[in-house]
Structure 1
Amino acid sequence: MTASKLYILDTNVLLHDPKCLYEFKEQDITIPMTVLEELDDIKDRKKNVSQEARAAIRAIDEILSHAEDAATITKGVDIVIPVTAANSEMKLGQLSIFPDHELTARQGFLPQNSNKDNHIINCALHIQATNPHREIILVTKDINMRLKALGAGLKRVEDYRTDQLVSDIDLLPAGHDNLEGNFWERVEDVKSYQEGSHTYHTVSKSLLPNTYPCEYIYDDSEEFAARVATIRDEQITLRDLGVDRLMQQNCWGIEPINIFQAFAMDAVLDPDLDLVILNGAAGSGKTLIALACALEMVIEQRRYNKIIVTRSTPPVAEDIGFLPGTEEEKMTPWLSAIQDNLEAMHEHDERPQSSVKYAIEKANIQFKSLNFIRGRSIQEAIVLLDEAQNLTPSQLKTIVTRCGKGSKIICLGNLAQIDSNYLTPLTSGLTYLVERFKDYEGAANVHLEGIFRSRLAEYAEEHL
């Protein structure tokens, strides 16, 4: 029996989720030959999605390897997944490859030029015309391609949303919640106790029905501030922080300017948190706060042995080609933000450059490429992951799972500055990280508000 729907996948869908072939249930899937050519082109380039391209090719090969001959691949090969409990297989739809390079220009088709999108759209138009009894759906994450396809006469074009965790970026947790009025005036029953130097309060969950672990809570009194420690049944335990104590934090000469930076410093400095996500606009202090706290914990507190700094490396404009030198020398242009912040922290020293050099050597700061993070097990280190918004969910998973015993990872990013052609704020790995770790008691997310880089930067962020 033929499936009622036929999905045609664009390249960016396979790059976004190489396992997407198993997400269309009993419906059929077709991959145009042009998509395979694009994957082949990407897999051998030093792109931040080359790993995803190779994973997608392997997934396609795994299904098509069961084909008896070339005609079967064009007609369709069953997609099956093993069912462990029953020691059997579950049949989904069929996967086929469509030879769109054989299509000739005809009425209603887009121009057959070097534009790969046109080839894929023409493939969908041809299949729609030759299969009038089936629902043909082009799936792409490219908004402009969706518009072109609809304009060319394709009836159904969709975004790939199977793994999308939030429908609107504004729904992403901020990591902090401002309560109107005075918090304690709402509390009728509380149990307070002391553990070490920390005070905890257990209150009813009805006071904060939508809270989650490690969310920061503060009110309008400018005195109360706390962090959700645990959520058990119908009770919430808060760790009392106090606004004054938070604002008096000092790391490597850096003090918080506002309450959000104070939350960020508290999260980074807390040894009970394994993952801290700092997101916010350019100039909000993400990198400065993270680096200052990292130096404090490595040099002064000696809690960690080193600082590993890494980031994705997509070019903002035209690529400048291969860079000479060692791995760390190649990464230096990409990680100049770290150097800038180190210089800012020591600008009033008698010998600023000597102070920066001392900090780099004493804290054992290492600049590493993401390509060499894979397969490692990082022990007793702080990992600063800059520009995390440019990473896919699978790339972020690779990095986070590298953290071994005694390590902590700090992810920095700004969802308004995504440089990747294959990501949007809703599909960025940073969005997935925030949402997936929302209920993990060992992770905190803080959205920093306010821009302190300069008056010009603040105006640009608001008006450009």
Structure 2
Amino acid sequence: MEQDDRKLFVLDTNVLLHEPLAIYSFKEHDVIVPMTVLEELDLIKDRKRDVSRDARVAIRALEDILGGQTTPEQIVRGVPLPRREDHGDVSGTLSIFPDHQIEFTIGSMPGDNNDNRIINTALHLQQLHQPRKVVLVTKDINMRLKAKGAGIQQVEDYRTDQLIDDIRFLTKGFHRFEGDFWERTDDVTTESDGRHTVHSVPLDKLGDDMFYTNQYLLDDSGEFCGRIVEKTPTELKFLDLGQERLLNLEAWGIRPKNVYQGMAMQALLDPEIDLVILTGPAGCGKTLLAMAAALELVVERGKYEKVIVTRNTPEIAESIGFLPGTEEEKMTPWLAAITDTLEVLHKNDVNPSGSMNYIMDKANIQFKSINFMRGRSIQNSVVILDECQNLTASQIKTMITRMGEGTKLICSGNLAQIDSNYLTAVTSGLTYIVERFKDFDGSANIYLNGVVRSRLAEFAEENL
């Protein structure tokens, strides 16, 4: 490739914190890391926060390439990036730019903070390497605006792991047809498999919409509901469920209040589905349904041995060591939503407190910190991963790869309630797995449309 066609990508610190191995994502183009970025990584790596691990991984990745016998001149000029198994198309170079040695003058910004120094570095390289394209890559929206205003011609967000551009396009897990579904076609093949009825319909009768395995199908009649079990180039096979049958499902004394909860409960109770992803607004019943289904599967049906509940702790408490007690006791404040749910499930018992203690022991409910899940292999369990919207794609991958044989994982979250400074709705790990697993036959995703917690919560969700 001609030198002028290869771009120069200048990386901001937040790119390496978001994806520590981002240096391998630019294919044949060259990557430059300003010295200021290394200083910021150095300050972050020893903090007692989860992001410090990403800083250490990024530093080690840089050391693997630039360490050893590499001379200072080679590091400034650029060292070829090694090919990796998952990045076989990498052919550019990596270099460290000593931005502290440069006197920025023309068009430069005041060098009183690190963002300005990185912007000035990109400006300097843009003037130095014309006509080559120099691209500043940062996940900081305000920094992108400042860089544009300072005269940098190309400023981009890091989108390599971003699967959608707008959260409105996120898969909801169901497709609603206008009118009556059965009026669309009379070319239907039906077969019975035990208690289940499976219909096959031609794809060309269903319009141009995209369909995928375990997607639910609804129509406006209020009666029809199905779940896709197989898709071929010419036809769609789906399991006939019916909305009335879904609304009569029951788990641990809980029945669905709407068809969306019915679809969620059907997926939660299906032993063939290993991963269930529940999304939706606050008060739509995500945690209640997950907990009720977990108790039903473990205690009543005996399909699993225990329930493990975990979530990402807020930044201020990612190190839970300052709290008294065992790991379960330390996690209790962050899993109050689970204990509240258990209270709701047993509020009509003669002795609710005694029932909760009995069930905690009977179902072997364990509260675990996500920070201590690495390296584990979880067998024959129902794992509830709550508040997934605050996890990165790599953190959720770490959790999913912990799941062993006979384990069901339930991920739930609300993309409107992201607490992390480093994530948005489109870059959240929850969005990532919804898109990645939408066509996996062992997973189901349901957006729980509608707030059922209370009329107050419903009004707040719609109007605030």
TM-score relative to the length of structure 2: 0.93
Q: Distance in 1 between matches of 2:318 and 2:94?
A: 37
User: Could you tell me which residue of structure 1 aligns to residue 50 of structure 2?
Assistant: 48
Q: RMSD in angstroms over aligned alpha carbons?
A: 2.3
Of 237-246 and 227-236, more deviation after overlay is shown by 227-236
Q: CA 1:23 to 1:105, structure 2 compared with 1: closer, same or farther past 3 Å?
A: closer
User: Could you tell me which residue of structure 1 aligns to residue 32 of structure 2?
Assistant: 30
SS for the counterpart of 2:83 is strand
Q: CA 1:321 to 1:296, structure 2 compared with 1: closer, same or farther past 3 Å?
A: closer
Is it true that 1:9 corresponds to 2:8 in the alignment?
no
Deviation for aligned residue 1:257: 0.8
SS for the counterpart of 1:334 is helix
User: Could you tell me which residue of structure 1 aligns to residue 94 of structure 2?
Assistant: 95
Identity of aligned residues (%): 57
1:384-403 aligned within 5 A: 384-403=384-403
SS for the counterpart of 2:433 is helix
Aligned residue among 131, 134, 145 for 2:132: 134
Q: CA 1:66 to 1:371, structure 2 compared with 1: closer, same or farther past 3 Å?
A: same
User: Could you tell me which residue of structure 1 aligns to residue 422 of structure 2?
Assistant: 422
Unmatched 5+ stretches in structure 2: none
AA of the residue aligned to 2:114: K
Aligned residue among 185, 200, 206 for 1:202: 200
Deviation for aligned residue 1:52: 2.5
Q: Distance in 2 between matches of 1:394 and 1:32?
A: 25
User: Could you tell me which residue of structure 2 aligns to residue 281 of structure 1?
Assistant: 281
User: Could you tell me which residue of structure 2 aligns to residue 248 of structure 1?
Assistant: 248
Deviation for aligned residue 1:269: 0.4
Q: CA 1:351 to 1:201, structure 2 compared with 1: closer, same or farther past 3 Å?
A: same
Deviation for aligned residue 1:31: 0.6
Deviation for aligned residue 1:118: 2.5
Please say if residues 393 and 430 of structure 2, whose CA atoms lie closer than 8 Å, have aligned partners that are also in contact: yes
User: Could you tell me which residue of structure 1 aligns to residue 377 of structure 2?
Assistant: 377
Deviation for aligned residue 1:429: 1.1
User: Could you tell me which residue of structure 2 aligns to residue 116 of structure 1?
Assistant: 114
AA of the residue aligned to 1:126: H
User: Could you tell me which residue of structure 1 aligns to residue 463 of structure 2?
Assistant: 463
Aligned residue among 69, 72, 75 for 2:71: 69
Q: Distance in 2 between matches of 1:428 and 1:162?
A: 13
Query: How many residue pairs are counted as aligned between the two chains?
Result: 459
Q: CA 1:82 to 1:92, structure 2 compared with 1: closer, same or farther past 3 Å?
A: same
> Which string of whole-angstrom CA distances, capped at 9 and with x for unpartnered residues, describes residues 165-184 of structure 1?
11221111110111111111
Deviation for aligned residue 1:453: 2.1
AA of the residue aligned to 1:121: I
1:34-433 aligned within 5 A: 34-65=36-67, 68-81=70-83, 92-103=91-102, 106=105, 108-113=107-112, 115-208=113-206, 209-315=209-315, 322-433=322-433
SS for the counterpart of 1:45 is coil
Q: Distance in 1 between matches of 2:90 and 2:277?
A: 40
Deviation for aligned residue 1:64: 1.2
Please say if residues 78 and 91 of structure 1, whose CA atoms lie closer than 8 Å, have aligned partners that are also in contact: no
